[in-house]
Amino acid sequence: MKLYNYFRSSASFRVRIALALKGLPYDYLPIHLVKGENKGDAYKAISADNLVPALVTDAGDVLSQSMAIIEYLDETHPQPALLPANALGRAQVRALAQSIACEIHPLNNLRVLKYLVKDLKVTEEAKGEWYRHWCRDGLESCARQLARLPASTYCHGSTPTLADCCLVPQIFNARRFDTNLDGLPRTMAAFDACMQLPAFQQAQPSSCPDNEG
Amino acid sequence: MKLYNYFRSSASFRVRIALALKGLPYDYLPIHLVKGENKGDAYKAISADNLVPALVTDAGDVLSQSMAIIEYLDETHPQPALLPANALGRAQVRALAQSIACEIHPLNNLRVLKYLVKDLKVTEEAKGEWYRHWCRDGLESCARQLARLPASTYCHGSTPTLADCCLVPQIFNARRFDTNLDGLPRTMAAFDACMQLPAFQQAQPSSCPDNEG
């Protein structure tokens, strides 16, 4: 398999975690988002959505959208499972993942922050407040969801799931933008538990070949 | 089952379509987003994420996040299926759904548009441009994805899927904000095919008990 991605992209990071948890080898193909390589003709010919990540399967199919890719990997390489065995558990894990991937990250990714500054002429300070507002709001929502679940090492249960694949990159991103992470003990305990695993260490931005520090 | 939702909420509309396609009865419980009922103590006690929709199962479990709810319904009530039978097809359908639910809708929902006006002091005109920019950008991405798939009546294949559950509410919303929908023939053909089905008609905002016209 081949993964087109960018070291700092949260959505790319999610898929790198899933690949590492499953022990699947892949070719790492960097697409420099800040330089706009995702909008270049070469990448547009590969990826219909012009975003990272894009996973190219061994059969040559190009898959997009990180959560869809992770579900595909989980279906085609079931061990270790990234979703619980029962429908209720899967719904809870997907809801946690989507609380991050649909409520926090879309508001705070590079192209949106660029639009705020370039088109809406907001100040750097207001951009930072925007980031932290949606990030904190979404993480508090996750914390309330976690509070209703049985005690667990990771977000849901005793093994990492799709929810952890989404949480960990979001915490990395939150710290880059100085988001307040106080008062989220269960969330941060799950983060810390994940970061003790080699798969999360291998997938993090600083371990990527295109890492710029 | 009970569905807490709001007639105009796109995410609620997605779940109403899925319930209607599967012929599942439910109690319709309106939560008035514009009046902020989702932030009231009564609803906060029910829904951990304080958003709509929330589905309460017959066992009393409360599920959130529309795509997670639809996948749950598909797993617990498999017919008619809302995802293809093979992993590649499921990945394609989920990617289409997520292109809408993660790339368009989060930027354009009520609380974000409110933040633009109240906190960032953008004009009504700039708010409308923001809406149309992200909506058109995301719909063009969907169109490019559709162009790489085999010919189909709906977004993917000859029966409606999760992708159609997401597309149709987004088109309703796009029209409310006067988004240009020209040059998207395959997308709009899928939309038109969906709207010929009773399930989509029953689920639309104008059919809801809390519809305000």
Question: Could you read off the pLDDT of A169-190 as tens digits, one per residue?
Answer: 999 999 999 999 999 999 999 9
CB A138 within 8 A of CB A181: no
CB A120 within 8 A of CB B130: yes
B91 and B196 share one domain: yes
B171 and B186 share one domain: yes
**Are residues A48 and B144, on separate chains, in Cβ contact within 8 Å?**
yes
The encoded tokens of residue B16 equal 């109403």
Q: How far is CA B58 from CA B26, B63, B76, in A?
A: 10, 11, 12
- Is the confidence at residue B114, as pLDDT, over 90? yes
pTM: 0.98
* In-domain check, residue B207: no
- With cut-offs at 50, 70 and 90, classify the pLDDT of residue A213: confident
B50 and B147 share one domain: no
CATH code at position A142: 1.20.1050.10
B42 and B11 share one domain: yes
**Are residues A65 and B101, on separate chains, in Cβ contact within 8 Å?**
no
In this prediction, residues B71-79 reach a mean pLDDT of 98
In this prediction, residues B175-187 reach a mean pLDDT of 98
In this prediction, residues A193-197 reach a mean pLDDT of 98
Closest CA of chain A from B92, distance in Å = 7
In this prediction, residues B74-79 reach a mean pLDDT of 98
- With cut-offs at 50, 70 and 90, classify the pLDDT of residue B213: confident
Q: Which of B15, B73, B82, B120 to mutate to test the interface with A (most CBs of A within 10 A)?
A: B120
- With cut-offs at 50, 70 and 90, classify the pLDDT of residue A197: very high
Nearest CA in chain A to B137: A49
* In-domain check, residue B93: yes
Closest CA of chain B from A33, distance in Å = 16
A45 and A92 share one domain: no
- Is the confidence at residue A201, as pLDDT, over 90? yes
* In-domain check, residue B206: no
Please give the mean pLDDT across all residues of chain A.
97
pLDDT tens for A108-155 read 999 999 999 999 999 999 999 999 999 999 999 999 999 999 999 999
ipTM: 0.98
B91 and B76 share one domain: no
**Greatest extent of chain B over all pairs of C-alpha atoms, in Å:** 48
**Are residues A68 and B120, on separate chains, in Cβ contact within 8 Å?**
no
The size of the A-B interface in CB pairs under 8 A is 134
Any idea how long chain A is? 213
**Are residues B71 and A90, on separate chains, in Cβ contact within 8 Å?**
yes
Residues whose CB falls within 8 Å of the CB of residue B44, separated by 6 or more in sequence, listed in order:
B50
CATH code at position A17: 3.40.30.10
- Is the confidence at residue A161, as pLDDT, over 90? yes
* In-domain check, residue A212: no
A101 and A148 share one domain: yes
Total structural domains in chain A?
2
* In-domain check, residue B183: yes
In this prediction, residues B178-203 reach a mean pLDDT of 98
pLDDT tens for A27-77 read 999 999 999 999 999 999 999 999 999 999 999 999 999 999 999 999 999
Q: Which residues in chain A are closer than 8 Å to B68, comparing Cβ atoms?
A: 90-92, 94-95, 98
pLDDT of residue B162: 98
For residue A113, the enclosing domain spans 87-197
B15 and B71 share one domain: yes
A115 and A58 share one domain: no
